[in-house]
Amino acid sequence: GAGVSQSPSNKVTEKGKDVELRCDPISGHTALYWYRQSLGQGLEFLIYFQGNSAPDKSGLPSDRFSAERTGGSVSTLTIQRTQQEDSAVYLCASSLAPWGGVRQPQHFGDGTRLSIL
């Protein structure tokens, strides 16, 4: 079946502009995560959505970053007034809802490579 889909795959924009990154999770996956990966680094957690619960925004680096998930499916990560340090690959992942406390592995998209000039 279809995996996690992210768009665009690449985005180049000027400093100060706003950008929107899109994630289509695997159908039926209620958990959705956004991560940021800088060159040669591990994954930095940004935000987590689980069903209709309030999202865990504890990883968002500043108030320029926001995300929403409409209808429990597609998610959009928005970065306002972009800065050069925002340049990175933004990865989205989804997973089945945990049940009985049993966590499920995440399945990742191929990311959006964001470059701020």
Partner 1 sequence: GESVGLHLPTLSVQEGDNSIINCAYSNSASDYFIWYKQESGKGPQFIIDIRSNMDKRQGQRVTVLLNKTVKHLSLQIAATQPGDSAVYFCAGASGGSYIPTFGRGTSLIVHP
**Two tokens at 109?**
């998209």
* Binding-site string for partner 1 from residue 9 to residue 38, where x marks contact by CB under 8 A and - marks none: ----------------------x-x-x---
What distance in Å separates the CA atoms of residue 101 and residue 87, rounded to the nearest whole number?
36
Q: Which of 62, 78, 98, 115 binds partner 1 (CB under 8 A)?
A: 98
**Residue pair 93/106 in contact by the 8 Å Cβ criterion:** yes
- With binding defined as CB under 8 A, does residue 67 bind partner 1? no
Q: How far is the CB of 16 from partner 1 (least distance, A)?
A: 28
Q: Which of 1, 71, 100, 105 binds partner 1 (CB under 8 A)?
A: 105
Closer by beta carbon to partner 1, 14 or else 39? 39
Question: E-assigned strands of 28-101?
Answer: 31-37, 43-50, 65-69, 75-79, 88-95
Choices 13-21, 64-72, 75-83, 109-117 (CB under 8 A): range interacting with partner 1: 109-117
What distance in Å separates the CA atoms of residue 47 and residue 91, rounded to the nearest whole number?
11
What distance in Å separates the CA atoms of residue 87 and residue 82, rounded to the nearest whole number?
9
Closest CA to 59 of 75, 73, 43: 43
Scanning residues 76 to 95, which ones bind partner 1 (CB under 8 A)? Answer: 91, 93, 95
Q: How far is the CB of 34 from partner 1 (least distance, A)?
A: 11
